[in-house]
């Protein structure tokens, strides 16, 4: 009976995935409650003889992957997989799977919530009341009538654009692979990144981290934004050079930021991001609502069963391009 390890606390049973895996012939193993699989040395020891791992953002680097001699599949509940060394998985014939199409509505709603919160002066106004400061209530710009720039109009960016059309804003987008029909239907204007940065009142990031997008938001690109601009990142922390962002927020070069993702998660207690009253933070939770959670854990379990049965659910597989003869058992 093949062994599956579940490392992410949010994915620990109960849940429908557990029964799907058991019915599919898997032995499901859980980590002890007092261990931290985010630590490389702990994760390496945990994997042991597991043939598949269902993971969150645990660090599956080359050291982990090459040391896991029985491992055949790394399964991510979600669409991002930058915590997995995909090249190392290619080299060792390990399949990397994700759960596409399960959380785009959740992320879009979270990004919109952050925009609206920042536009109404949060978190600073919340702190003003909680800390018994004098109440200062300068009038703020109305969200309706603003320009929202979406950087990356894929599945999540489109879900955000669909929600924005009812809020009387202008939506512009930068997208390397534009969908003309979608843009026409929802009145979205495609433009260059530079133009988007200079025109937008709100900028929402929805790109993966690649060699081209790493540190996309930096001193240079921040300098192209309006001083009143507000930046939202529900994608990946690596898109932003955080020291440059802190400098821009401190100096007033831009007005505010909403971050669901950071380079170091969770941040250390002395992280400067935590000291900024014009940054609204959340704990990498944008993609997690009840429906998204249910759909992703079901999909990841069903995909693992399909692989074990000899099927190839290519829509969920992000690596091993061109491979046609992969088998669960080597």
Per-residue pLDDT of 233-246, as tens digits, reads 999 999 999 999 99
Please determine, for residue 199, whether its predicted confidence score (pLDDT) is greater than 70. yes
Please determine, for residue 324, whether its predicted confidence score (pLDDT) is greater than 90. no
Residue 11, pLDDT score: 80
Token pair 């990498």: residue:
284
- Tell me whether residue 16 is in a domain: yes
- Active-site residue, from 17, 236, 293, 308: 236
Residues 76 and 216 in one domain: no
Residues 40 and 130 in one domain: no
Residues 296 and 307 in one domain: yes
- Active-site residue, from 10, 39, 120, 265: 265
How far is Cα 85 from Cα 28, in angstroms, rounded to an integer?
24
Average pLDDT over residues 171-195: 97
Around Cβ 265, how many Cβ atoms within 10 Å? 12
Residue 89 contacts residue 67 (beta carbons within 8 Å) = no
The lowest-confidence range among 3-12, 57-66, 211-220, 318-327 is: 3-12
Rg (CA), the chain: 21
Residue 38, pLDDT score: 85
Q: What is the CATH number of the domain that holds 294?
A: 3.40.50.720
Residue 187 contacts residue 162 (beta carbons within 8 Å) = no
Question: Which two structure tokens, joined as six digits, stand for 2?
Answer: 């093949």
Around Cβ 277, how many Cβ atoms within 10 Å? 14
Query: Is 236 among the catalytic positions?
Result: yes
> What are the tens digits of pLDDT across the range 16-66?
999 999 999 999 999 888 888 888 899 999 999 999 999 988 899 999 999
Question: Which two structure tokens, joined as six digits, stand for 318?
Answer: 């992000």
Average pLDDT over residues 287-310: 95
- Tell me whether residue 89 is in a domain: yes
Residues 230 and 251 in one domain: yes
Residues 18 and 127 in one domain: no
How many domains are contained in the chain?
2
Query: Is 308 among the catalytic positions?
Result: no
Residue 131, pLDDT score: 96
Residue 241, pLDDT score: 98
Query: Is 125 among the catalytic positions?
Result: no
Residues 136 and 256 in one domain: yes
- Active-site residue, from 206, 284, 293, 308: 284
Residues 159 and 241 in one domain: yes
Residues 33 and 116 in one domain: no
Give the pLDDT band of residue 215 (cuts 50, 70, 90). Answer: very high
Give the pLDDT band of residue 330 (cuts 50, 70, 90). Answer: low
- What percent of the chain stands above pLDDT 70? 100
Contact residues for 245 (Cβ-Cβ < 8 A; gap 6+): 217, 222, 231, 257
How far is Cα 152 from Cα 134, in angstroms, rounded to an integer?
41
Residue 55 contacts residue 75 (beta carbons within 8 Å) = yes
How far is Cα 313 from Cα 307, in angstroms, rounded to an integer?
7
Q: State pTM to two decimals.
A: 0.91
> What are the tens digits of pLDDT across the range 261-286?
999 988 999 999 999 999 999 999 99
Residues 41 and 86 in one domain: yes
Q: Which domain holds residue 142?
A: 104-281
Residue 180, pLDDT score: 97
Give the pLDDT band of residue 12 (cuts 50, 70, 90). Answer: confident
> What are the tens digits of pLDDT across the range 117-174?
999 999 999 999 999 999 999 999 999 999 999 999 999 999 999 999 999 999 999 9
- Tell me whether residue 323 is in a domain: no
- Tell me whether residue 326 is in a domain: no
């Amino acid at each position: 009976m093949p062994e599956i390890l579940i490392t992410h606390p949010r994915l620990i049973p109960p849940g429908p995935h557990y029964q799907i895996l058991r019915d599919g012939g898997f032995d499901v193993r859980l980590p002890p409650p007092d261990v931290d699989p985010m630590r490389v040395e702990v994760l390496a020891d945990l994997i042991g003889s597991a043939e598949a791992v269902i993971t969150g953002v645990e660090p599956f680097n080359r050291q982990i992957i090459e040391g896991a001699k029985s491992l055949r599949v790394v399964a991510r509940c979600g669409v991002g997989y930058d915590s997995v060394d995909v090249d190392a998985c290619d080299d060792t014939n390990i399949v990397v799977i994700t759960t596409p199409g399960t959380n785009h509505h959740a992320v879009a709603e979270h990004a919109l919530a952050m925009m609206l919160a920042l536009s109404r002066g949060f978190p600073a106004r919340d702190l003003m009341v909680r800390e018994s400061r004098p109440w200062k209530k300068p009038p703020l710009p109305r969200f309706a009538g603003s320009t929202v720039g979406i950087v990356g109009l894929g599945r999540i960016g489109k879900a955000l654009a669909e929600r924005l059309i009812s809020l009387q804003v202008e939506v512009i987008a930068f997208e390397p692979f534009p969908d003309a029909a979608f843009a026409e239907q929802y009145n979205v204007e495609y433009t260059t990144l530079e133009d988007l940065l200079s025109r937008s009142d709100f900028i929402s990031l929805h790109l993966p981290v690649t060699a081209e997008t790493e540190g996309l938001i930096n001193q240079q690109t921040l300098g192209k934004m309006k001083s009143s601009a507000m930046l939202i990142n529900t994608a990946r922390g690596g898109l932003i050079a955080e020291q440059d962002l802190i400098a821009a927020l401190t100096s007033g070069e831009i007005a505010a930021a909403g971050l669901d993702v950071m380079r170091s998660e969770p941040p250390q207690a002395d992280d400067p991001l935590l000291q900024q009253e014009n940054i609204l933070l959340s704990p990498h939770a944008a993609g997690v609502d009840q429906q998204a959670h249910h759909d992703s854990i079901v999909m990841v379990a069903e995909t693992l069963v399909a692989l074990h049965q000899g099927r190839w659910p290519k829509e969920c597989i992000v690596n091993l391009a061109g491979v046609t003869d992969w088998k669960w058992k080597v």
